[in-house]
Structure 1
Amino acid sequence: MEENKNEIIKVCLLAGKIMLQSGAETYRVEDTMLRIASSFGVVNAQSYATPTGIMFSVDETEPTNFVRILDRSTDLHKVAIVNSISRKISSKELTVNEASELLKEVEVQKHAYPIYIQILAASLVSGCFTIMFQGQWTDFIPALFVGGFGFSAMIYLHKVVEIQFFAEFLASLFIGLIAYLFIDIGIGKELDKIIIGSVMPLVPGLLITNAVRDLMAGHLVSGLSKGAEAFLTAFAIGAGVAVVFSFI
């Protein structure tokens, strides 16, 4: 029985870890872990998740297990897969060992597109956002190049400088500089529209959404921490562009 309880704990923690690392809301992580535990017969389980860690116990008087979350990204496909596994557990289609094996497979899977496809997508998105924000078609091509360069710069700088704030600050700084150079040589007409469209791939949309949803669900610690992270990202983007405008 004790061995089975340990396996249940491992399954719950692994499911929560995958979801948090993939960009899921903390209330969804806690709910999924509790549902999995309940489906395996653990009715008094306790879970508490923050963006950087998970605490879980099968009972109020049992020792608490802790998992540290170091890396976070956006992979909603993994979140959907874990949710699907959770539903199968709830319907008694999976045993503890089967669920554990499936979750281990999900953990090592890589669903991200290659870097060049991400850069191409960022370029196209930048151009489309420029038009959406009432830019002219003559600004589409500059935004295409500026957005792609800015996104690729952020990816490279994030590998060199692990602090995301500085990577986003420098990327937005390059976006402002290159957009100004395009205008200066006569390619493009509206500098502000090109910059606005080009920085959109850097905007932390999912982070802002999750912060609001966590706050609405009553998870104040997670909501405020994610909100602060989103604010710092937005500040870094704005500061980088502001530095360029202060010198032109």
Structure 2
Amino acid sequence: MEYSASDIRHRSFSKGLRGFKTGEVQSFLNGLADAWESKNERIETLEFKLEKTEERVEKREEQLDMKDESLTQLEQSLNEREKELEQREKELQAITQRLKNTLQNESDALASLEDEEGTATEEFELDDSATQPASARTNGTSGASSSPSPDSGASKSSAAADSEEKTSEEWVDSLFPNRLPGADDEEAETSESDEPEKEEKSASESQFEAIKEDVQGMDADGSNGASTAEEEGDDTAPPTDEMERIWDVFDDPA
């Protein structure tokens, strides 16, 4: 049964009690009511504090639960990260081993190539030393035979020029049978002999006169010669342009 301070103050007792004065009983009840009231106030204060504390505890518990969850997640992620690191470490070790093997193979291959190069160099030097005297002799004998003569080009060009001059000389001889020996022979004879300049002039004049007579004879028989040349298809008949040039020479003997 609960009592309040007001209940205690207004509590009435039966008159069967003896030996207690009413004032003393009332005073006692008032003191008891005050103590009870203060006790109830304290209880209420403590209950309020308890509620606040419980609320804080609940909040802290919630925070702890959240932290526990985050810690659990962190532990899981840490475990996964450790596994990944272990896997990468294994991969790095495998790659390192492959690189070491590759480097070793390359070193072995390079060493073998160097050995082969040295062997090939020695063989080449031996072959070169063996073939050098023979090649020197061959070059010495073939150099003189295969080296082109410096006078070959000049001799070929002079031969071509002589053949062209000879052809033109034969054509002129066929046109003018009374002509004296060629100009080249005349120059050779005049260079070898010491004849006077007057004799050379008379020889050239006589040659000029002989050519002129031949041309006049050809002009007299021009029509007959032209028709005969056209019928027979004679290729030796001189063209009209050449005849005009020849007559120009006769017109202007200077």
The answer to whether TM tops 0.5 is no
- Which has the larger share of strand? 1
Larger radius of gyration: 2
TM-score by length of 1: 0.20
- Which has the larger share of helix? 2
Determine which structure has greater relative contact order: mean sequence separation of CA pairs < 8 Å that are 6+ residues apart, divided by chain length. 1
TM-score by length of 2: 0.20
